[in-house]
Amino acid sequence: MPDAAHLFISDLHLDASAPAAVEQFLQFLSAEAARARSLYILGDLFEAWVGDDDEEPARQRVCEALMRLTRGGVPCFVVRGNRDFLFGAGFEARTGCQLLPDPLLATFGEQQIFVSHGDVLCTDDHSYQELRSIVRNPQWQGRFLALPLAARRIVADAARAGSKAHTQNVQRAIMDVNPQAVVTAFRVSGTRLMIHGHTHRPGIFQHDVDGELGTRIVLGDWYEQGSVLIYRDGDHYELRTLKR
């Protein structure tokens, strides 16, 4: 992978139950990411994150590797996803990463890019959007984080089971982005390039935005193989699959 690129990844869902994905990510950090200008992680780095005090061994290994990357001079920026929306200052301290709002406008040279985890664009999935508004509420998060760690893990396991059932029962199209929400995001932000994850449907898609072309790049998940967007100033990009 050529040097001097900005790298974008998302939906790694790292967990001790999937050691191959963890090892691939650690290798990625020590090789491709170590040569990058910056690394952007657009949500769902972990399968679950129940608080910054969770030092489960697999997650701790990942945090330590991120700290090595950032201490080595590669800035790493993280957007919270629907699995790790509880990232806080403790996560930043453990990794050297900087948490960013979602969505955000990122500037590279003269190019502005709409960057997001992507779930805010899935407006047809009403039950998910309702749940999202609840768990992103600071008061709800405060009550949850006040629970003992063991209790939070039990709740997270139940939530994962519920999410799996929801995914199986809801039509595939409903869980994808809403085309009008995408066009609205382009229109309001004034950008014509968008990068997001969440849907696990990697690809490069074109949208008509008031007669102009808007490009939407969707990052892939890391369940079976890695996925990375290589972006260089000047609007040069490549969406690449990393074989395992």
Q: CB atoms < 10 A from the CB of 133, how many?
A: 10
State the pLDDT at residue 171: 53
pLDDT tens column, 115-145:
999 999 999 988 889 999 999 999 999 999 9
Q: Is the dihedral of CA 220, 222, 227, 229 positive or negative?
A: positive
pLDDT tens column, 40-58:
999 999 999 999 999 899 9
Both tokens assigned to 209: 């935005």
Query: DSSP 3-state assignment of 205?
Result: strand
Domain membership of residue 143 (yes or no) is yes
Domain membership of residue 141 (yes or no) is yes
Domain span including residue 237: 6-242
- Do 208 and 201 contact (CB within 8 A), yes or no? no
| Conformational region of residue 89, where left means phi above 0, alpha means psi within -120 to 50, and beta covers everything else | alpha
Which residues make Cβ contacts (< 8 Å) with residue 9, sequence separation at least 6?
28, 39, 40, 41, 42, 219, 222, 226, 227, 228, 229
| Number of domains making up the chain | 1
State the pLDDT at residue 95: 98
Residue holding tokens 């992978």? 1
State the pLDDT at residue 172: 58
The answer to whether residue 1 scores a pLDDT higher than 50 is no
Domain membership of residue 1 (yes or no) is no
State the pLDDT at residue 160: 80
Q: Where are the beta strands (DSSP E) in the chain?
A: 6-9, 38-42, 76-79, 98-100, 104-108, 111-116, 193-196, 203-209, 212-218, 226-232, 236-242
Select from 66, 57, 42 the least CA-distant residue to 218.
42
Domain membership of residue 72 (yes or no) is yes
pLDDT tens column, 151-207:
999 999 888 887 776 666 555 555 689 999 999 999 999 999 999 999 999 999 999
pTM of the model: 0.93
Domain membership of residue 13 (yes or no) is yes
Total number of residues shown for the chain: 244
The CATH number that applies at residue 211 is 3.60.21.10
Both tokens assigned to 151: 């209790």
Q: CB atoms < 10 A from the CB of 70, how many?
A: 17
Domain membership of residue 205 (yes or no) is yes
Both tokens assigned to 40: 């952007």
Domain membership of residue 95 (yes or no) is yes
